[in-house]
Amino acid sequence: MGKPKHLTNKQNPFAKKKRHNKEKADEPPARREKPYESIVLKNESFEAYYKHQQICSSEEEWDQFIEHMRKNLPVTFRITGSKAQANLLLKLIKRDFFDEYFRAVKELRKEEEGAHVEPPQCLGWYPGEMAWQLELSRKDIRRSEPLFKLHNFLISETSSGNISRQEAVSMIPPLVLDVQPHHKVLDMCAAPGSKTAQLIESLHAGEGTGIPPGFVMANDVDNNRCYMLVHQAKRLNSPCFMVTNTDSATFPSMQITKDGVVSPLKFDRVLCDVPCSGDGTLRKNADIWTKWNLGQATNLHGLQYRILKRGAELLEVGGKLVYSTCSLNPIENEAVLHHLLKQTDDSLEIVECGHMLPTLKYSKGMTYWEPATHKELKYYKSFDEVPENQRTVLRPDMFPPAKEESVEKFHLDRCLRILPNQQNTGGFFVALIEKKKPLPWESTDTKEDNGQDLAKGSEAPEPPTKKAKYMRGFKEDPFVFFDDNEDVFESINEFYKLSEGFNPRNLLTRCKVGKKKNIYFCSSVVRDLVQLNEKRVKFINLGVKSFVRCVTRNIKCEFRLAQEGLANVNAFIGERRRVKVQPSDLIELLSCTDPTKPPEIAALTAETQENLKNFDSGSCILQCELDELNLAVVGWKGAVSLRAYVDQYDTVHLLRLLGGDLSKFEKNKFQDKLRAEQEGEQKDDDGDEDIVENESPSPGEGEVAPTEETA
């Protein structure tokens, strides 16, 4: 889930304006004035307000709720990737880390009287045992030497995209959205991107189905946070994913080619994880205790409504939308839903989704609440009671529906409220909405756009008018797709013997003139969307790097394969550039840490040497069978040597799956710090080894260009 959603000054009335310039951006982030330990975890207004709203069912549960709110949040992670790799990684985690973790925690808490150590807990509501919760907080793991191997594991596997360090409740919205490979998906407020990553994984969940026909479009209003999305999604290497940068409340109507006709784009699934006050994240954002007030929720209600309304307009009839926040406040949750539902008659319906999350404990949505002024906490049962001077703060749409119609008509009780005390998580709110028929104000007239007749009854209304657009953030390089006359494609096609099913028009570069350095691959539907809508919305990123220019002597093709894009182009590459290697050989290749001295072919197994006979030098695919798992790795065949062309994090991941020696990659920062102190050097307490949840280094880091010898 990350921190509460970022708000621009335009969206956030109570935020101070900030300067944005290159000089400011280059400055390191300032350290907080007080550590979390010194923050008083108490706010009388917070406690009084939520106790009055009766978000807990009893006094006993309230005490448990407050107690959990003041505890550190436990670490949670989920295993991603293909089914075969995920199952093998889960097996290795159970074998290599859970026992060590249990022993280390017992050692850390041996002096605590009556301390009970919980083993790692599987989140039973997440499918396939693929999500786990550890009793310790992230800070505990980062600062405990007995757990340095677990810490290293979490860092490397997160960076390689094979696990996601994600808060438990943040995993819920994508699960109930139930994305299928053919779905057109919009994530309206996507940054930092952990939920977006789940949506992409669901899109690719069909085993052996190739590139899915659907796509995920992830949007964020903040330009800088869009690049967080890019880094998050790059780990997944999906050709069916794109990032856009626009105000989600005024997201433009877009077009798509359907059955050869340009038609309005409607989405099958929409995620509205909207900006919120974030008081459900108090367990990891302790400074909210000192800043919390009701003014945040009342100021955000209108923005949340506008985003939800626009999401409903962009949703296909029969499609589903999830509205979610990391807030506990009914003003930001049930009131926003009620605000829209009462305007849409029976076009939208909140539907049950708790059954999709077996074993998850939650409370039902609220059907009654009392808005209050944020300074004196004066509560009102109806808008008629609100004094005139407060009616710009508390508005009619913030009040609950009449009691006699709330359950039968609006079904607010079908929403999910997750409280921290129920399963030791953060606080969260989720509602699943189904679109039964067009909204009352949606057009049913046939219109003409770009010379094409649009399908009757399917056009989304235009977003609300606003001031003239101006360029925000960085100016993006162009997206230049290949055409039938692309000069470099002929050599790529000839060298890799691409199959007839490969469409060169799905290749693109980011430059219109000059030599192409990187060639990216995207799906046909993504190409279509960009070409039809690049003047309607700002596209930040799309496509997966699949070919990289590699200047060497005596090589027939100037472009080598890129590991990031191998999974997408692998099926199209002919047998001529494939070589089968034994697991022991792949371990040898991956274990090589000196890029100037790759393993010699003569040192590999006889089977691999035989497979390399009469094999032309240059980029190739190394194929390795490991039980039921088929691994494919980009390699480079030199005159007398063979190398694996994989970045540092993927190297560690593959060696872990293969059972290779990881000792040369393990780094004990505690021992490093001790040695540095002994040598008179000073280092930061945490060094720079930890990574922030939902962030990762750029893929490709650690790759080394082929030397003349490899040519």
Average pLDDT, the chain: 85
* Alpha-helix runs per DSSP H in 460-514: 489-496
Average pLDDT (197-221) is 89
- pLDDT tens for residues 136-179? 888 778 777 777 888 888 889 998 889 999 999 999 999 999 99
SS3 194: helix
Whether residue 607 contacts residue 582, with contact meaning beta carbons closer than 8 Å, is answered with yes
In the predicted structure, residue 184 carries a pLDDT above the cut 80: yes
The pLDDT, as a whole number, for residue 444 is 58
Instruction: Decide if pLDDT at 690 tops 50.
Output: no
pLDDT in tens, 329-356: 999 999 999 999 999 989 999 999 999 9
- Cα 167 from Cα 163, distance rounded (Å): 12
Say if residue 619's pLDDT is above 80. Answer: yes
**Is residue 353 annotated as a catalytic residue, yes or no?**
no
Phi, psi of 100 (to 5 degrees): -65, -40
β-strand pairing of 215-219 with 184-187: parallel
pLDDT above 70 as % of the chain: 84
Q: How far apart are CA 88 and CA 65, in angstroms?
A: 37
Q: What is the pLDDT of residue 187?
A: 98
Average pLDDT over residues 289-299: 94
Dump pLDDT digits (tens) for 77-108: 999 988 888 999 999 999 888 887 877 777 77
Percentage of the chain exceeding pLDDT 90: 64
Query: In which residue are the tokens 């097996």 written?
Result: 91
pTM of the model: 0.86
Whole-angstrom Cα distance, residue 624 to residue 604? 14
DSSP for 206-240, please give it.
STT--S-S-EEEEE-S-HHHHHHHHHHHHTT--TT
Q: Are 211 and 569 in contact (CB under 8 A)?
A: no
Supply the pLDDT for residue 225.
92
Predicted pLDDT at 90 = 94
Quote the pLDDT of residue 505.
Answer: 96
Task: State the pLDDT confidence band at 274, using cuts at 50, 70 and 90.
Answer: very high
Partner residues linked to 187 by β-bridges: 218, 271
Position 207 scores a pLDDT of: 60
Is pLDDT at 74 greater than 50 in this prediction?
Answer: yes
Quickly list H helices, 522-596: 524-533, 566-569, 583-591
Residue-level pLDDT at 14: 41
Quickly state the pLDDT bin for 25 (edges 50, 70, 90).
Answer: very low
Check 326, 415, 557, 624 and give the catalytic one: 326
- What residues contact residue 604 under an 8 Å CB cut-off, 6+ apart? 581, 582, 585, 588, 612, 642
For 515-561, write each residue's pLDDT tens digit. 888 999 999 999 999 999 999 999 999 999 999 998 776 678 889 99
Pairwise CA distance, residues 406 & 413, whole Å:
9
Within the chain, how many helices (H) and strands (E) appear? 22, 27
Give the residue-averaged pLDDT of 246-267.
Answer: 96
Other CB atoms closer than 10 Å to residue 671's CB: what's the count?
11
Beta bridge partners of 99: none
- CA–CA distance, 147 with 152 (Å, rounded to integer): 9
Residue 459 confidence (pLDDT) above 60: yes
| Mean pLDDT, residues 598-625 | 94
Give the pLDDT score at 114: 56
Query: pLDDT band at 577, cuts 50/70/90?
Result: very high
pLDDT of residue 111: 59
